[in-house]
Amino acid sequence: MDENCLFCKIIAGKIPSKKVYEDDKVFVFEDISPKAPTHVLIIPKRHVVGLKEATPEDAEILGYCQLIAAKIGREHGIEDGYRTVYNVGPRSGQSVFHLHLHLLGGRDMTWPPG
Ligand code: AMP
Ligand code: ZN
């Protein structure tokens, strides 16, 4: 746990969140500022800064987060179209530096993303 990390505090229950799913490896909760009818964040329980900081030892958790996104997409009835997104680096809008996979769905998506 990184004492200064917002998402580590959410995992530890020190900051409240709307939990959607949890297991031994990941924690999933609703985004506080949703950009789609379904907008959840899938985060590893182990503190990883972001995709560009990930190492080969994070390969399994990266894949696992995507599989959890697919499971939640199925359970939320959004399989007609959703996105999984990592924002990487300041120009992407990344604002929290604990790896988080966005799952967005429940509306039409435009391409390319902004
Ligand atoms: P990013 O911009 O990719 O770093 O995404 C960070 C996301 O975290 C944003 O979509 C925020 O709305 C979301 N967020 C920030 N603080 C909280 C919080 N306390 N609970 C839930 N989501 C949050
Ligand atoms: Zn963290």
Convert the pLDDT of each residue in 15-33 to its tens digit.
Answer: 999 999 999 999 999 999 9
pLDDT at 31: 98
CATH number of the domain that residue 82 is part of: 3.30.428.10
Residue having the nearest C-alpha atom to atom 3 of ligand 1:
94
Asked if the structure places residue 69 within a domain, the reply is yes
Residue to probe by mutation, ligand 1, list 29, 31, 86, most atoms within 8 Å of CB: 31
Structure token digits, residue 50: 């972001």
- pTM summary value: 0.97
Which among 22, 24, 6, 2 is positioned nearest to 14, based on CA atoms? Answer: 6
CA 44 to ligand 2 centroid distance, Å: 9
- What is the C-alpha to C-alpha distance for residues 83 and 91, in angstroms, rounded to an integer? 19
Domain coverage including residue 15: 6-105
pLDDT at 114: 87
Asked if the structure places residue 112 within a domain, the reply is no
Asked if the structure places residue 114 within a domain, the reply is no
pLDDT at 1: 85
Measured from the alpha carbon of residue 15, the closest ligand is 1
Asked if the structure places residue 37 within a domain, the reply is yes
Tell me: the pLDDT tens digits for 36-64? 999 999 999 999 999 999 999 999 999 99
- Active-site annotation, residues: 100
